[in-house]
Structure formats: C-alpha cells, structure tokens
Structure 1
Amino acid sequence: MARHLVYASLLAASAFHCKAYSACVTTTSLGDPYNPASGESVSCSSAAPNPDPQRIDAVAGSSNVSVSVAQGAALSVAGADAVRLRDSSTLTNAGQISAAGGFAGVSLAGNGNTLTNTGTITGGTGVLGAGSGNAVVNRGTITGTAGAGVSLTGGDSSLVNSGSIAGSGATAVQFGAGADSFTMEGGTIQGTVSQGDGRNRAAISGGTITGAVTQGNMSDDFRMTGGQIGSLAQGDTRDTFFMSGGTIVGAFEDGDVATMTGGTVGRVDMKLDNNIFDMSGGTIRGNLVAGFGNDTIRLSDGVIGGNISVSGGTDSLTITGGRLEGSALMSFGSDTLSWDGGGTVLGRIDMGPDSDTATLRNLGAAQLAPTASFDGGLGTDTLTLDNTQAGGVARFANWESVALQRGSGLAMDGDLVLGDSGTGTGALTLDATSTLKAVPGTAAAIRAMTAGQLASVTNAGTIDLTGGGAANRLTIAGNYTGNGGTLKVDAVLAGDGAAADRLIVSQGRIGGQSLLSVNNLGGAGAATVTDGIMVVQATNGATSDAAAFSMPQTVKAGPYQYFLYKGGVSAGSQENWYLRSTIPVVAPPAVPGEPQQPVPEQAPGAPVVLPPAIVLAQPQATPAEVPIYRPEVAVQGAVVATSRQLAMTTLDTFHQRQGEQSLLTGKGRWTGSWGRIFGESVDNRYSGGAAPQFDGHIAGFQLGQDLYTWQRDNKHQDRIGLLASYARAKGDVRGFTLAQSGALSGSLDIDGYSLGAYWTHVGPTNWYTDAVAMVTWLSADMKSRDGMDRSTRGTATTLSLEGGYPLPLGSRLTLEPQAQLIAQFVSMNGFNDGVAQVSFNESNAYVGRLGLRLKSTFESGGRLVEPYLRANLWREFSGTDQTVYDGAAAVPTRFGSTSLQFGLGVAARVQERVSLYAEVDYLTDVSGDYRQAWTGNLGVRIRW
C-alpha cells in the first residue's frame, strides 16, 4: 500500500514539473528535455512558452537522442547553439529554430547525426556539423547570419537539399575534408557549395545554386540531371563528371573524366591530368579546354559554342556528331583526330606541332564545307580521307601525307600544297576505290610547300579530269606514279590539237602503270597528221616511262579508232602522251626491249585485245599518215558492194534463169513456169579507205512465170513474164582495220527479196534478146569484232539487156557469141552505230559481159539433151561508194575489175512438158579488184 502511494506522488510531481518547464518534454523517461541523455526523445510543441528561449543540449557523450520540433513550435535561443546533439542522434524540425549572437541554430557536435528540416533554422551558422558522418536533409529554410548556411566540416557527411539555404557571405554550404555527399533535388542555395578535399560526391537534379560548386582535391564525382549552378570546380586528382540536364552558368573546371549527354555549361576547362570528355548531347556555350597530359575528347552530339583546345600531350579528338562552332586546336604532341560520319565544325582544325594523324571518315562535302581549314601544323603529319567526299582543297595545309581510301573523293578546286616549312613536301595517295576530281573552270595543282622540291602522287584509283568541256588541267609539280589507277579525260576526238583535258607533270617523273579512259566530247573523228591530241604533258624537264600509260578501252570517233602514243613528232614532245588516229607509214624504231605488239585477230564479237601504248622514240616526220580505221568501217564499207553482188547473182544471165532457147515453146497465156536454186561462194576485195573484203556465200531461189507468148508465122516469138526471188549473202569481212591490211573486222548478213519483169525475143535461128528489170529490197545486219551489231535497209534496182546469136559448127555443134549490159542503182538507209551517224553515198554501177557458148545437141532415149561449155569476160566499170560519218568524214570504197568466168552445163527435156537445166562456173579476176567465185545453178521449166 505504501509503495502505491509513493508512485502516485511521483506522477503528480512529474506532471507539475512538465507544465512548469515549457512545451518541450521527454517522451521516453522522466529526464530533462533540455539536456536529454542517451536514448531519450524530446518533443517540442507550440504550447507556451513559444518561442521557447531555452536551448536543447544533449548530455555530453550521449547518443541516440531524438529531438522533434513540431510545426508551429519555436526555439529562440540567445548566447548558445539552439540545438546541440552529440552522437548518432536525430533532429526533426518542422518548426522554427534560431540562435542569436553568432551561435549555430543546430550544432551536430558529434558523429553520425541526422537532421531533417522542413521548417526554419537560423543562426550565425545555420547548421554546424563538427563531427563526421553527419547527414542533413533540408526541405525547409536554413540561414547563416554570420557564416555558412550549412557547415559540415567533420568529413564523410551528407547534405540533401530541396529547400533554401543561404549564408551571410559567399559561402552557403561548406564541407570539410572527407568523403562527403551533396544532393540538390530542388530549392535554392544562395552562394557557393564547397565540398573540400576528399572523395566527394555531388548530385544535382533540380533547384538553383547561385554560386560555385567546388569539390577540392582527391577523386570526386559530380552528376547533374537538372537544376542550375553558378559554376563547378572539381579539383585535383582523378574526378568524374556526368551531366544529362540542367545548367552550369559559368565554368566547369578541373574535371578529369567527364560525360555530357545533355544540359548546358558556360565553358569547360579540364586543366591538368589525362582528361576524358565524352559529349553526346547538351550545350557548351564557350570553349572546351583540356590541359596537359594525354587527353581524349569525344563529340557525338550537342553544341560547343567556342573552341576545343588541348595543350601538350598525345591528345585524341573524335567527332561523330554534334556541332563545334569554334575551332579544334590540338597544340603540341602527336595528336589524333577522328571525324566519323556526322557533326559540323565551323571553325578550323589545327593539329599543332609534332607528328599528328587526322582521319575524315564517312563524311560528305556538305558536312565538311563549313570547316575553315584543316591544318596539320609542323611535323610529319598524316591526313586520311576514308569514304569521304571533300572539296575546298586549299583548306588542307601542312600535311606530309594525304591518303584517299574506301571510295573517297577530293575535288580539286584549287591547289593542294603538301608539306610544311620544315618538311618542305609530301605525298598524295589514292587507293583503288578513290577519286581525285577536277572542278570545271579551275586550274588546279598539287605541289610542294617549298619551291624546288617535288611533291609525289601515287594513283591506284581515279584521277577524273572530265566535266569541264575538255579544258580541265591538273598540274603535279613533282612525281606521278600509277599503281594500276585510271586517268579519265574528256577529249574532242578530231584532228591534231583538238581540245582535251590534260594531266601536266612538271620537273618530276611519270612512272608506274596507269590506264587512260577517254570520253569523246562531240568529236566527229579526223586524221591526226602531226602530234595528235595531247592528254599528258611533261614539262620543265619531266620524263615519262614508256609503259606509264595504256588505254584498255577502244576509243572511236567517226571512222577512226584512236590509240595512245608516247611522244609526238614535233620537237620537245618525246615525253608527252597523245591520242592519234594515224600511224607513220614507216614505223619509227621501237624503244629497246619494248617492241610494239600487233593486234591479235579476233573472232566477231570477241573483246579486242589492244596493244600497249605506241612509243615514238624520237621526233620524226613521216611522209604521210596512215589512218587507223575502226573495225566497223570495213564492215560498213562492204554493205553497198555486197548488196550489188547479191542482186547480180540473183539476176545472173538468161540461160541461168530459163535454161535454153529450145525450151521456150508454146504460145498464148501462161505458157510456162520456171524456177531455180543457186549458190555462190564469194571472195570479193575492194580498194580505197578500209579496203573491205567479203568472204562468204550467196544462196537463194527464183521463180518465174511466162504471162504471154506471141508466136509469129516467121518463127519469131516474144514472151513476157514476172519473176520473184529470195537470196541471202552471209560471210566474214576483213579490211584495213587498225592499220592492218586484211584484218578480220566483223561479219555481214544481207537478205534480198526481189521482184522483176522480163521480155525475151527468140528468132528463127534461136538468136535471142533478153531484157530484165528487177528491184531487190535489202536488209543488212552488220557485226563488228568489237561487238557492234546494227542493221539497215535499202533497195537495189538492176536492169539487164543481153543477146546471143548461135552459129552452127556442124549438125550438132553451135557456137553462140553473147553480150550483156547491166546497170545497178543501190540506195541504203543511214543509221547510228553507237559511235557516229552513218550514211552512204552510193555510186551507180555498170557491168558488161562478153561471152562464148559452145553447145552440143543430141537425143538420148528420145529426150533432147543440150550440154555446153561457156566462157565470159566480165567488166565491172570503176566507181566509188562513200561511207560518211557524222556528215563529215567520208571513207571511200572503190570497185572495178575485169574477170574471166568458165563454166559447163546441160539442159534436157526429161518429159514432154518438163525440162531440167544445171550449170557450174568458176570466176577469177584478171585485173582490178580481186574476185574469186564458184557458182552452182539448178533449174526446172514446165510447159503448160
């Protein structure tokens, strides 16, 4: 009972005591709320007195004390820290805490304390953390009236802010040495944040810090995803930086490893150490500067408003995107630039002194156009264009090696100067896929920096001089070496001195092996009489190897094929290279060890194997030029002449068509029908121009119908009739092709469809007169050995008048003299053969024949048989056809010959109304054009 009374008394006294003190009470014991001991909790409410003038000062050495100041509650203390905690304690403030007289609003005197503020804390220093491992979370307001708003100097402390912090001076937040952590989620910090030395971490995701953030020495980490700060200085040792949003108004300084994907920075100065800056977004308004050491800068997106500058060291700059509005300045050291696929540089690229390397990869001319210059600086520098197209060649300066590879192109819109003031010269190389392109209207050169030194160009790709009206010039002041590359030029394929693009090599040597590709720019072809058309010029003592250039393509214009020559015929032209459509009559002596090779004979349609370039060892006048006709010229030159031969073979003579006079019996209408088949092997050769030769055969058939026959009492008879024929001439064509006589040129195939009318008069003693008019419609198919395949059409009108008078030599033999005159008129349509527009000026042709026919007559089995021998002298009177190319160059084909023909035949009446006749002939020339032919004929006549 006594014990219960004592306990009740203590409760009453305790209740009386709390009310007397204030609204701050202990909630876990009967201890003093203003001097809480370990493990005690203190709660301050808005009850009177409010504000409470007493400080809360945890007992020295205490820990795990918990203090809570409720919303509406206030502590206003003079002459002391308003709240002081010792170790591992917590303070939660939703009210107001203030201390006057320069004392701290909250003092975290020990280690491991935690402050969470959503209210207001004011003091000389708003929050003072002298111990280590203290944590402050501020979502309210902290103000320092005589110092920092928050000062956590004990080390290894943290501050999370989304409220307001301000100090009396420039410093709002001060950390000491140690591994401190600072997080800015929002709100405002008026002044600077200084983390001090140590491995500090700072994370900014929102809010505003009006002053600088400094992290001091040791390896610090900074991350910013939002918000705004005045500036950032990370200090010495290996720091890391990440920014994806927000703004650093001023400078980011003294960083080491930085990643920027967004946000805005005023300027960046990485200062010392081996810096890395990786930018894939955001904006740097000013310069990005890296200090000494081996620095690495990568720009894949975003904007840098100023320059990228590095100091001494082996530095690396990689650009794959983004926009650099200033210049890239690489300074001393063996630096590397890689610009790949994207991005823009508006200023200049200056690699600085020492031996540097720059690679421009996967870039277009539009991307590179804004860049003011690409300067290798002093040293032995290498520039590589890798799958890149570039112009503005004068921007590329002070490079000792320039390489084009993987489909790169460099437009020569000015001079490319190789080397610097120290090295003096340099080299340009093109791989097999790359192109050096002339710009129309620009006289460009590749030369050394130092006058008198020789630049070097090695070409495994293409030097393209086309596109400027055959007036482009590229000068190499030094050595040119072909490594299987190509020189492309436009040329007006005409006579000597015609316009052509030109590669000029000055002072040096033209060596290696290059291919020449020529595009005809409207030339109609003409004979070159002197040097020809210059495409490569060696000046100022330059020399050229004999095999430096060759021309794999066939270059044709008009009737000519052009070949590439080293050396002209004029003085001083020995080292130049020319296109010529002629060769000398007597070939000049070849360079020892380099004999000229003949053109191999080709099958029609097969690709042509060209000889190497022709070398003229010394200037030499020639008595006359020998034209180099292309293979098509001989084929086309044979068209008209072979068409005549086809019509002539179709017409032939009276006896080949109708057999014998004795077979012409009956009178009235439809007295008889006849038909025959014929074939002829032909070897005809013509002169003039390409001297075409047709070696083939002609075969066909012919049908005739007597329409009406008049028999007179005096034994004279007349008959008229119609005939229709088809014949085909097919064979090879040879000629004066590529300056070689009798060279295989192609083939010719002509189809002829003929209609004609005839009148035959037979007298009492079987003398006869026969007249024929025949029109042949022609279709000619021409193929050259170079693959040309063209067709044309035309007509041939043939008129013939012949007669014969048999003289009896006994009862069975007669000798019949004969005479015949034939006139032919051929007209062929023009066509385009892919090189020129081809037309024909056909000559009228006249042929005469004188013949003798020895015939025997006998019966066999009651059937009349008439064998015979014949001999003819044929005279084809001379004439000239012309094949005209583009209305200008005309190539003549001359015809005219005298030939002997020998034959034997037989005519026999095998039935009363049916007769057969056959003949075999051989023809050979005796003067004029070459003619050889074997002819066979088999006919039948039926009397109705």
Structure 2
Amino acid sequence: MFRRSTCGLAIAMALGLFGAWCRPAMAQQWLANPGTNNWNDDANWVGGLAPSGAGATAIFDSSTVTSLFFSADTVIGGMTFNAGAPAYDFNVATALTFSGAGIVNNSANRPTLNLVFGGPVTFLNSASAGDALLLNGDVTFANASTAANAQIDVNGALIFQDASSAGNAVITDLFGSDRVEFRDTATAANATIDFDAGAVAFLGNSTAGNAAISVSGLSILLFEDNATAGNATLTMGPVGRAEFFGNATAGNASITTGFASTLNFYGNATAGNATLTLNGFGVDFNGNSTAGDATLLNNSLIVFRGNSTGGNAAVVNAATADVDISQLNSAGTTLGSIAGEGTISLGSKTLQIGGNDASTQFSGVIRDGGAGGGTGGSLTKVGTGTLALAGSNTYTGVTTIQEGTLLITGSTTSDTTVEAGGTLAGTGTIVGDVFNGGIVDPGNAGIGTFTIDGNYTGTGGVLRIESVLGNSSSPADLLVVNGNVSGQSFVQVVNNGGLGAPTTGDGIRIVDVGGVSAANAFVLAGPVNAGAYNYQLFLGGSGDPNDWFLRSGLRPAAAAYPIVPSLAQEYGARLLGTLHRRLGAQEQLRDRADLLDEPYFNGGWGRTIGLGGEQTGGGTPFDYQLAAGQGGIDLFHDEVAGGIHHYAGVYVAGGQGRADAGGQVARLALDAASVGGYWTWYGPSDGYLDAVVQGTWYEGTATTVDGSGIRPKGAGLATSLEAGYPIRVGETFLIQPQAQMVYQTFDFQSQRDAASITSFNDNDSFRGRLGVRGARTIALRETRAGGPRLLTVGLTADSWGEFLGDNVATLTALDGSNPLSFASDMGGAWAEIGGDVTVQVTQHASLYGSGQYARGFEGDRAATMGSLGLRLNY
C-alpha cells in the first residue's frame, strides 16, 4: 500500500557521520545576544563554534533571539533547554538529524520545530522528540528513538521504523495527503492520533500498542503484513475507514465505527480478541479473513463473504442489526455465540454456533435469504453453553444440536436432530420433526410444556421430565407431539421436591400424543422414587390410548428395609444359642480330678456357626444365611460342698448375615461384632442354670433392585436365661427337660437414601423355649495319661415362640413428612429338632458339634443350622 522511502534517512545518517568527523563532540550554548538567528553561524555560539555532529548538544538559556533557522544540513546529538529558557522555535528548511539524546526540555515552554519547506527531521538511535511541537514537513523516527510527549502536526510523511515508538505523542494531520507509517517493529505506544483526511498505516510487524487512533472524513487506517492493533482504541468517525490486509490482526483493540464509516478484513486478516462496536456500514469479512475470538457489538451489519469465517467470535445484535452469511463461497461458517435481537440471514448456508461455550439469548429472527439470496439455511449448535432462541425463526434447513443446549422459547420451522451430546429444551414450538439421540428437556428453568408440531422419533436419547412427584395432579413437564411417536427414548424423571403419594386414575401425564405412539417409544431410564413410593411409566389412559403417564406404587425399599432388624434378631439369638450348643456336654468335666485344679483361667473354647433359612410370615418373605465365629475363656470355676459347680467366662464373636428379600427384590448384608459374658451353675445331679449377656454392633448395606440403598448401623443387647434338670435312666442315659428365655433390644440409626428417610422402631424381641434333651454318655478307650475319655450323644426337641419381633421401619419423604410404616413380623411359634455330640479326644481337648432343623407350626419359617467347636481344659 505504501512505498517505503529510505533515501532521506540514508542521507541523514551520512551527514551525521560526516559531521561527527569534521567537528569535535561537545556542548555549545546559544548566546544571550547573538548577532543573527542562523544556527549554523559559529559567531552565535559561546566558544565561537556551532554545534554539529552526533555527539554535539545545543544548550539554550535566555536569549534575545529565540527564532532560529538552519542554513545547512545539520546533525546533532540533541538540544537541551534549561529551566529559564523562553519558547524557542526553529525553522527547518534543510535536513536536521538527532542522533543522541534528542530534545530535552527542562523549561516551562515548548520548543517548536517548523519544517518550513519539508525538512526533513530524523531521530536516530535513542533520540527523543521530548515535548516539542513539530509542524509541517517529513519526520522520521528510526532505531529505538521515540516521539515521547511531542505534538506533531503532519504535513507530509511521519515515519516510525525499526523499533521506534510514538511514545505519548499527539499526532494530527493538516492536509489530505498526509500520512503516518509504522514499519518493522515500531509501535504507536500510548500516542493519540487524530486524522480527518490522510492515512495511518501499520506495516511489517508494527503495533498500535495502547494508542488512541481516530480517523474520519476521507482518512483511512490500514493494517498490513503482520501488523497488529494491539490494545489500541480505534475510532472511525463519519466516513472514516479501517482495513486489515495480509496476516494483520485487530489484537485486543477496541474498535468503534461511526456514521457511514467502514471496517473491512481481507486476506488472512483476523479480528483477534478485539471488541468491535459496529455502527455506520458495520464490518465486512472477505477472502480467508476471520472474526477470530472477537466480540462484535453489532448496531449495523456484519457480512461474511468469500471463504471468511466467524471463528469463535461473540456477536451481540441490536434490534436493527443483521448478520449476513448468504454471500459466502463456502458451505457455511461459525460463530462463538450470538445474542440480542435483529436478524441473522443464512441464505442457503449453515451457521455453526457455540464454539466459545458461552450461554446467550437471541430474541431476533434467524431466516433464509440475505444479500446473497438462497433458502434452506441451517443451524448447528456446538459447545457446552446454552443458546436460547426466543424469536419466531423461519429458516428452512435443518437444526442439529451436537453439544450444549438449544433452548427454544419462541419457534422454529426446521426439522431438528439432537445428537448424543446435545440438549433440546424450552417451552416453545418446533414446526417440524424431531429426532432425539441426546436429551429433550421440556421447560425453561422449571416445569413447562414443549410442543413438536410434527413427528417425534427416539434414537436412543433421553426425555427429561421434571415433576413435583405426588398424586395425579402433581405439576410435571409435558411434551406435546402433534404427530406420531416412534423409535425409543429413555425417560429420566427429576423430582423437584415431591414427597410421593398414591396416584389415581391415569396418573401424571408427561407426553401428550396427537397421533399414534409406538408401544415401546418411552421407557424409564432408571427408578423413580419419592418417599415410600415408586413411579412407573404407562402407555394409555382413559382419555387417549397414545399418551404416557407416571403412576405410583410402593417402593421395594418399603418391603426390604424392615428386614434389617429381623436379620439382626435372628443373628443375635443364634449366636446366643443354648448351653450345649455353645459349650458342648460340659457335664463331662464333673469329677475330673486331673482337671480344674485351678479356679482361674482353666479352660477355653471356640466354635463356628452356620445357618440357612427362610421367613415367609408377616411382611416381605426373605431367605437368609448366617455365619459366625465365636471364642471364649472360662475366667473362673469353683466347686463347693455338695457337688455344686460354678463357671463364669467371657467371649467374643464376629460374623455376618445375608438376606435376599422378596425374590431378589432386595439384598441385605450385616457385619456383626459381639462381646458376651456367661455364668453357669450346676447342681449336685447336673441340673443347671445358665445366664448370658451379649452386646453386638451391626453395620451393613441394604440395596433394592431399583438401585436404592441404605447403610444400616446399630447395636443390640441380648440376654438369655436357661435351665435344665436331668432325669437319669440307668447309668448312661438321661432325659433333661429344658426351658429358656431370650430377650433382645436394638437401636438402629435413621438412614437416608435418594428418596426417603428410614427410621427403625419397635424392634424388641422376646423368645421362649420349652424342650427336652435325651443324652447318653459312654466311656471310650482311656487317654494316654490314663484318664477317662467320654462320648456324649444327645437328641433335642424344642418348641420355640417369638412373642414380640414385630419389626417396623418407617419411611418418610426427605423433609420428614408423609410417614409410612412397614413391618417384618418375626412372631410366631416353631418346632426345632436336632442333635449334639461331645467327644474327648485327649486328656485336655474335646470336640463338640450340633445340628438342628426348625419349621414353623404354620409353615411360615424354616431353617437348618449347625455348629462345630473345640474345648480345651487344663
């Protein structure tokens, strides 16, 4: 655009070298009363020598002559104006070059360089123009020189090249042919540039820096090559023009266009990250140019031509503004986001929106047509943000939602495809078909109705429904399809604080179909729970067989959670067991003179327990398994007169219980840790009284088939009192009537799942047993130590009864309301038969085991159990 002239600069540098060789570098002072006003007259300077040369400095104080002229080309290092110096002006009709410090003004008066016949004036190296006033003629800043705080009225060419800077200068033009050029890596820095007829050009790798640049009238602002507008403020006044060519960029500038002004991008130029406030004729993007990541505040017109692109630019449209992509040679373009009002003219092109991930609302109209004409324009939504369309959009191509959300509160006339990463939402209307492979979400930040004035086809997507789940009149999103429904979609129900309740009639309508609905068009994506209720999806109602409804029933959790204390009760009771199951035939120890000679710590024992059973009485039926390991030590044994024995000891145990409830509807798992203590009294004829106290801590999980679950935590306290009296029949056989009472109480913490709060109460248990044990003891071969070795075999028949055991779990909504209680009733009576064996294997060790089978008198329970233990006495 501009031809670069370096001839004047080369002459200036040559003169500088010549002057430096001819005269010594020194500081010369202008006389207080010089004879003439000729700078180059040696007689006008103190010392009789005019300053000349790259290192020469002219010093000015008070003088009777303050208007000087140059009669020859001159090179100096600089001018220094001392504090008391008056206002000097210099008429430069020849070449003047500053190659040192430049102009240093310590006075209160601004010096003036008046380039009467064009100068030129050149600043080299690090020379500064100080705060001088430069009028008329050509001025060049080269190397690292700076215009500093100068005021420059351009009448010709003002050139900044190399790494020079306009500093904080104020630059204005005088006539239409004036120009300012920034070349190489020069910068406008913090200058103020105001042109109304000439040209301001940035070439090479130059930058507008932080300058304030205004062009109006016939003036033009140009950026070429790799130049950048930096962080400048650029203003196009009336009829002003700004153009970007090559690889130039608007950088981070703030650009404002005014009345009848124009802004154009050509070649590979980019708007960068600039903010463009568009008035006048707006902005044109041509060639391969791009709007980049700019912000376009459009009060006029944005046009994309050729192969230009909108990049990720953010467009904010005023009510009368238009964005026109209809003249593109390519199939379409992109924009980061659109907002505001006005129109967007697509022609036959595709506009892709959303690349900057911003969320915006556009209330204007997206349409076909534009300056390039054409129909069938299309819209593609990308990015993670939300684009809200509130207007009546009339484009006739397709709408594709690839990512993020397209929120329609107005209307479109386009067939719409929702892809896997996209969401279609809103309360508006689509006059076309919808293909849902992503998410369709009726409503706008709440419950609402979305209308499809065509067909709906599910392609594996999700229909998201918000509802305040309760009875049939509960508020809920509604999808209205005036055409047919086909394919398949997964319905995801979001509960907005609903407490759950029974539904009546058709239930809660969520899809209103005007045409025909396929039988499997909608299926629930997952369980829908609120409080104690579960909601299922149904096709058809009393009003229309093609509509879809939610109807409630009790949750699986309502049946499963009450089993938690029931499982704990069964575990605690089976761990307590009976005396013979716990310790074997301990009466074998009577009269063992070789044992029990010490009253303390004279025995230890351990056993394993296993049980499998089923409970089919009151409440949800369940199958269960119990397993435990138990070990104890006799702390004390005492034999008193008359053959009376006392035993006391403690034990620990660990185990677990597992249950499957309601035919795999729920699974329960409880881990348990116990400690206990016992005291046993034996009379002279082996009648006994056995007392046990046991504490157990429980922790586990309860999960249902619908994915709900809690983590029960609690503790139980159990006591047992058992008595038996043997009736001997001969020397080796006895019949022993027995009685036992077992009481347990439990405290489980309240638990919260995604839909409810569960609390446990009324979880006490009281069991009683009446039974008889027949046993025979025989002597086997003696031990190696010569002591007796006994074998005891027993058979038992018992009748048990549970007099409490009505375990209750109460489910409420998450706010504690709508309580509903559910029971797992362990009460009832059952018979139990079994056997036990105790055999001494050495002088100090005995093995013992037992097995039982239990069955309810009313067939409401059954269980098989066994244990195996080892006892050591010493």
Residue equivalent to 1:867: 792
- 2:217 corresponds to 1:230: yes
- 2:871 corresponds to 1:940: yes
| Rounded Cα–Cα distance in structure 2 between residues aligned with 1:290 and 1:654 | 97
| Rounded Cα–Cα distance in structure 2 between residues aligned with 1:753 and 1:290 | 81
Match of 2:631 among 701, 704, 711: 701
Residue equivalent to 1:819: 739
2:623 counterpart letter in structure 1: Q
Residue equivalent to 2:776: 856
Provide the secondary structure at the position in 1 that maps to 2:520.
coil
Match of 1:436 among 424, 427, 430: 424
1:656 Cα offset (Å): 3.0
- 2:599 corresponds to 1:670: yes
Provide the secondary structure at the position in 2 that maps to 1:478.
coil
1:629 Cα offset (Å): 0.8
1:543 Cα offset (Å): 3.1
| Rounded Cα–Cα distance in structure 2 between residues aligned with 1:483 and 1:669 | 82
1:892 counterpart letter in structure 2: A
Higher strand share: 1
Residue equivalent to 2:129: none
- 2:761 corresponds to 1:841: yes
Match of 1:537 among 503, 511, 522: 511
1:575 counterpart letter in structure 2: N
| Rounded Cα–Cα distance in structure 2 between residues aligned with 1:788 and 1:427 | 42
Residue pairs, 1:334-345, within 5 angstroms? 338-341=333-336
Residue equivalent to 1:383: 379
Residue pairs, 1:617-632, within 5 angstroms? 627-630=554-557
* 8 Å Cα contact 1:686-1:893 kept in structure 2: no
Match of 2:351 among 343, 353, 358: 358
Residue equivalent to 1:135: none
Greater displacement, 426-435 / 863-872: 863-872
Residue equivalent to 1:794: 715
Match of 1:487 among 444, 458, 463: 463
* 8 Å Cα contact 1:525-1:558 kept in structure 2: yes
- 2:502 corresponds to 1:576: no
Relative to structure 1, the CA distance from residue 345 to residue 846 in structure 2 (aligned partners, 3 Å threshold; closer, same or farther) is: closer
1:497 counterpart letter in structure 2: S
- TM-score, with structure 2 as normaliser: 0.62
1:348 counterpart letter in structure 2: G
1:393 Cα offset (Å): 1.9
* 8 Å Cα contact 1:404-1:429 kept in structure 2: yes
Residue pairs, 1:731-750, within 5 angstroms? 731-736=657-662, 742-743=663-664, 745-750=666-671
| Rounded Cα–Cα distance in structure 2 between residues aligned with 1:399 and 1:745 | 53
| Rounded Cα–Cα distance in structure 2 between residues aligned with 1:284 and 1:847 | 86
Residue equivalent to 1:287: 280
Residue equivalent to 1:307: 300
| Rounded Cα–Cα distance in structure 2 between residues aligned with 1:309 and 1:756 | 89
Match of 1:513 among 481, 488, 513: 488
| Rounded Cα–Cα distance in structure 1 between residues aligned with 2:527 and 2:386 | 32
1:472 Cα offset (Å): 3.5
Residue equivalent to 1:829: 749
Residue equivalent to 2:696: 777
Provide the secondary structure at the position in 2 that maps to 1:641.
helix
* 8 Å Cα contact 2:564-2:668 kept in structure 1: no
1:433 counterpart letter in structure 2: G
* 8 Å Cα contact 2:581-2:867 kept in structure 1: no
1:826 Cα offset (Å): 3.2
Number of equivalences: 663
2:429 counterpart letter in structure 1: I
Relative to structure 1, the CA distance from residue 545 to residue 821 in structure 2 (aligned partners, 3 Å threshold; closer, same or farther) is: same
Relative to structure 1, the CA distance from residue 230 to residue 521 in structure 2 (aligned partners, 3 Å threshold; closer, same or farther) is: closer
| Rounded Cα–Cα distance in structure 2 between residues aligned with 1:229 and 1:938 | 105
Provide the secondary structure at the position in 2 that maps to 1:508.
coil
* 8 Å Cα contact 1:355-1:380 kept in structure 2: yes
Provide the secondary structure at the position in 2 that maps to 1:644.
helix
2:490 counterpart letter in structure 1: L
Relative to structure 1, the CA distance from residue 710 to residue 208 in structure 2 (aligned partners, 3 Å threshold; closer, same or farther) is: closer
1:801 counterpart letter in structure 2: E
| Rounded Cα–Cα distance in structure 1 between residues aligned with 2:718 and 2:840 | 33
* 8 Å Cα contact 2:701-2:711 kept in structure 1: yes
Residue equivalent to 2:16: none
Relative to structure 1, the CA distance from residue 530 to residue 849 in structure 2 (aligned partners, 3 Å threshold; closer, same or farther) is: farther
| Rounded Cα–Cα distance in structure 2 between residues aligned with 1:208 and 1:861 | 124
1:498 Cα offset (Å): 6.8
| Rounded Cα–Cα distance in structure 2 between residues aligned with 1:931 and 1:304 | 80
1:497 Cα offset (Å): 2.4
* 8 Å Cα contact 2:527-2:534 kept in structure 1: yes
1:571 Cα offset (Å): 1.1
Provide the secondary structure at the position in 2 that maps to 1:639.
helix
| Rounded Cα–Cα distance in structure 1 between residues aligned with 2:613 and 2:276 | 86
Residue pairs, 1:340-739, within 5 angstroms? 340-341=335-336, 348-351=342-345, 355-363=348-356, 365=358, 368-369=360-361, 372-376=364-368, 379-387=375-383, 389-395=385-391, 397-401=393-397, 403-412=399-408, 414-415=409-410, 417-419=411-413, 426-438=414-426, 444-448=427-431, 455-464=432-441, 471-494=447-470, 496-497=471-472, 499=474, 501-523=476-498, 531-534=506-509, 536-539=510-513, 541-558=514-531, 562=535, 564-567=536-539, 570-572=541-543, 574-582=545-553, 627-630=554-557, 634=560, 636-658=561-583, 659-661=585-587, 663-664=589-590, 670=599, 673=603, 675-706=605-636, 708-712=638-642, 717=644, 719-736=645-662
1:231 counterpart letter in structure 2: L
* 8 Å Cα contact 2:467-2:494 kept in structure 1: yes
1:776 counterpart letter in structure 2: G
Q: Name stretches of at least 5 consecutive residues in structure 1 with no aligned partner.
A: 1-69, 73-92, 96-116, 121-137, 142-160, 166-184, 194-201, 214-223, 234-239, 420-425, 439-443, 449-454, 583-626, 737-741
| Rounded Cα–Cα distance in structure 1 between residues aligned with 2:297 and 2:839 | 109
1:551 counterpart letter in structure 2: L
| Rounded Cα–Cα distance in structure 2 between residues aligned with 1:303 and 1:827 | 66
| Rounded Cα–Cα distance in structure 2 between residues aligned with 1:249 and 1:904 | 108
Relative to structure 1, the CA distance from residue 246 to residue 332 in structure 2 (aligned partners, 3 Å threshold; closer, same or farther) is: closer
Residue equivalent to 2:822: 891
* 8 Å Cα contact 1:654-1:770 kept in structure 2: no
| Rounded Cα–Cα distance in structure 2 between residues aligned with 1:474 and 1:264 | 41
* 8 Å Cα contact 1:365-1:390 kept in structure 2: yes
Deviations 1:259-300 (A, max 9, x none): 9969886555899xx999978479887432799x99999656
| Rounded Cα–Cα distance in structure 2 between residues aligned with 1:814 and 1:248 | 118
1:834 Cα offset (Å): 5.5
Q: Name stretches of at least 5 consecutive residues in structure 2 with no aligned partner.
A: 1-68, 72-91, 95-114, 119-134, 139-152, 158-170, 183-192, 200-206, 783-787
* 8 Å Cα contact 2:425-2:442 kept in structure 1: yes
Provide the secondary structure at the position in 1 that maps to 2:696.
strand
| Rounded Cα–Cα distance in structure 2 between residues aligned with 1:510 and 1:364 | 32
CA RMSD, 1 decimal: 5.2
Residue equivalent to 1:916: 846
1:794 Cα offset (Å): 0.6
* 8 Å Cα contact 1:699-1:727 kept in structure 2: yes
Provide the secondary structure at the position in 1 that maps to 2:420.
coil
1:361 Cα offset (Å): 3.7
* 8 Å Cα contact 2:385-2:405 kept in structure 1: yes
Provide the secondary structure at the position in 2 that maps to 1:397.
coil
1:806 Cα offset (Å): 0.9
| Rounded Cα–Cα distance in structure 2 between residues aligned with 1:302 and 1:787 | 48
Relative to structure 1, the CA distance from residue 164 to residue 911 in structure 2 (aligned partners, 3 Å threshold; closer, same or farther) is: closer
2:465 counterpart letter in structure 1: V
| Rounded Cα–Cα distance in structure 2 between residues aligned with 1:209 and 1:816 | 121
1:840 Cα offset (Å): 1.7
Relative to structure 1, the CA distance from residue 289 to residue 791 in structure 2 (aligned partners, 3 Å threshold; closer, same or farther) is: closer
1:815 Cα offset (Å): 2.8
Residue equivalent to 2:321: 327
Provide the secondary structure at the position in 2 that maps to 1:650.
helix
2:428 counterpart letter in structure 1: A
Deviations 1:82-140 (A, max 9, x none): xxxxxxxxxxx989xxxxxxxxxxxxxxxxxxxxx9759xxxxxxxxxxxxxxxxx978
2:217 counterpart letter in structure 1: G
